[in-house]
Structure 1
Amino acid sequence: MGIFGNKHADRTTDATAAATVSPHLASVTGDYTIDPAHTTIGFVARHAMVTNVKGSFTELSGTLHLDGTDPAKSTASLDVTMDSIETGNADRDGHLKSSDFFKTDEFPTMTFRSTKAESLGGDDYRITGDLSILGVTKPLSIDLQFNGSAKDPFGNERVGFEGRTEILRSEWGLTWNAALETGGVLVSDKIKLNFDISAIKNA
């Protein structure tokens, strides 16, 4: 099961995917709660055309339903608190929370709700869903790799996924920018998203 997506020209057929579902995922079928303390949702934006600015959201919640024998039945739900954005610079964080960008007073939460899940073979999965930012909802597909499962020292059964994708922020109404004297703009439209997901199986 994947959670957020990359673009692929070739789609794995359902028959092929079913035949190559990872045996590792088959053993962890069940309902899970995302562990925010060990989950990172990060982003990378190009700044002034010459360097990258990285950030993440520190407050989030979500659930997974994993079906290892039939990945198409897997689902994901995620809620991110936009006011928890951190880039390592307080002034920049404040600007991102303002009306120029995320308008966190008016739109406090970013959400993702899955609509489709599929196996790409082995430990690779794709999930497609609706991503909502600033009241704008658009489809997004994310390819994730299943990193495995383990029982932690506290007796929790955990699973992990990692993945990445790219979006154009303007498609969700994030259009603020400033022109540079040398040409180009201050903030890239293309944003890279990175995901490291840890989830605990429900009792």
Structure 2
Amino acid sequence: MIKYHPSKQLMQKHIMGELPVGLSVAIAAHIELCDACSKEFDLLEAKQANETFNASVDDSDSHEFESMMDDIVQLTMFDEVVAHEPEVFEYQDKRVRLPRAIAALKLGSFMNAGKVSRARFELDEGPLRSSLLHIKPGGEIPEHTHTGFELTLILDGTFEDESGQYVPGDFIMLDGRHNHTPKTKDGCLCFTLVDNALHFNKGLSKLLNPIGKLIY
């Protein structure tokens, strides 16, 4: 059962187009996976549409709006329905159907480090990095905190840390207040978004901290 969800504030910003691409992609993907958030999103979207179309406007805005609506109704409409072909990602001898918002993105090549593999999506997001993360069975990411924020959306499999276990659809946002050691028994596939390097706390992984900004 999905336990972690984006806030209403984030979903509202998603509706208004006020979020970075990677974060909007994660929210759209979560909504596709989560029935509860899908219903909540529909309500928020309907409310926003009602407020927008019923807002009072001055004469110039009214004329511009009417002109826009005239252009829309004159568009040529097509009634041909094109079936959506779900994008399937193969890993660990499994075939996983990706949410449409993620499947639409162009993915780079995977880089491997032990049991952890990561491929970045080719998005121009400044300091943000959107990736597809695969951790093989028995894999673990050393204990770390965050110099920025880290969003993880579980797409397949499960992983756990000091706070519990996460399942497909869970939308987990962490920042510098959190320390954790993600690990998975059977393997998992995740969409991740970070805006700065991780900071490792223990062992040899601490050697990565000086170059963390170059590899996050």
Q: Which protein is richer in strand relative to its size?
A: 1
- Answer 1 or 2: higher relative contact order, Cα 8 Å, separation at least 6: 1
Q: TM-score, normalised by structure 1?
A: 0.25
Q: Which protein is richer in helix relative to its size?
A: 2
Larger-gyration structure (1/2): 2
Q: TM-score, normalised by structure 2?
A: 0.23
